[in-house]
Amino acid sequence: MRSGGKSRLAATAGVVAPAVWFAVTIALGLSVSGYDTLRMPASALSLGPTGWVMIGNFVLLGAVEMLLAVALWRAAGIAGLGRAGAVLIGLAGACTLIAGPLVTDPDDALRTLHAQLHLAAVAVAFTAVSAAAITFARRHRRAGGLAAFSLVTGLSVLPLFVISEAAAPILGLIQRLAVAIAFAWLTLIALRLRGKIPAPELRTRP
């Protein structure tokens, strides 16, 4: 497969993966006994008998974001994001992947090293997405609504994540709002990239 085809495939995966992550999170939240979506972070779903599903959910999303970052790097001239943004998205993907197996503690207590590293990885991922969005907004002020949404994303995602850590009764709700905004932006970037890469031509036998 040529690099253009690989980039187009990565962009398609970048569109699908955030929706899959949310679908899996919702399904687990409804099926795990005692789980409170409003109060508890999605990371808590990595605990218990079905925790491996959520761990895999993090790993898959992180891997796709990293592939998307590579595609954005290769297509920096046509995708309109720039290589700095691609690096930041790759960093967010790497941190998301790492956060998967480094599960949090019950009740988000942060007593163990792996729980502390999980929180650090997630915090860096949110920071990287915010920085990437601001990079896009500054680099492409004339991109219309997408540039405006990029600025909103950059200025809201990280603050919402920080606020959620101090808002125990609705921690889960605020974190999901931050994730939803970040994922919506990443999906739009993936769609933009996919739309700018020509579809591979089908070869026909003579």
Q: What is the DSSP string of 139-201?
A: HTTTSTHHHHHHHHHHHHHHHHHHHHHT-GGGHHHHHHHHHHHHHHHHHHHHHHHHHHSPPPP
Q: Are 161 and 126 in contact (CB under 8 A)?
A: yes
Of the listed ranges 60-74, 80-94, 132-146, 173-187, the one predicted with least confidence: 132-146
Is the sign of the CA dihedral 187, 135, 142, 159 positive or negative? positive
- Predicted confidence (pLDDT) at residue 205 exceeds the cutoff of 60: no
Instruction: Find all residues with CB under 8 Å of 138, minimum gap 6, and list them.
Output: none
pLDDT of residue 127: 96
Kindly indicate the confidence band of residue 196, based on its pLDDT and cuts at 50, 70 and 90.
confident
Quick one: what percent of the chain has pLDDT higher than 70? 89
Copy the structure tokens of residue 155: 């200025």
Question: pLDDT tens digits, residue range 107-165?
Answer: 777 889 999 999 999 999 999 999 999 998 887 777 678 889 999 999 999 999 999 98
The strand ranges marked E within the chain are: none
pLDDT of residue 78: 53
In the chain, domain spans: 3-196
pLDDT of residue 206: 41
Is the sign of the CA dihedral 4, 139, 58, 32 positive or negative? negative
Please tell me the distance from the alpha carbon of residue 2 to that of residue 126, in angstroms, as a whole number: 32
Total Cβ atoms within 10 A of residue 173:
14
Q: How many helices (H) and strands (E) does the chain have?
A: 7, 0
Region class of 150: left (phi > 0), else alpha (psi between -120 and 50), else beta:
alpha
Instruction: Find all residues with CB under 8 Å of 52, minimum gap 6, and list them.
Output: none
pLDDT average, residue stretch 37-41: 92
pLDDT average, residue stretch 85-98: 95
Total Cβ atoms within 10 A of residue 95:
23
Q: Are 172 and 38 in contact (CB under 8 A)?
A: yes
pLDDT of residue 91: 97
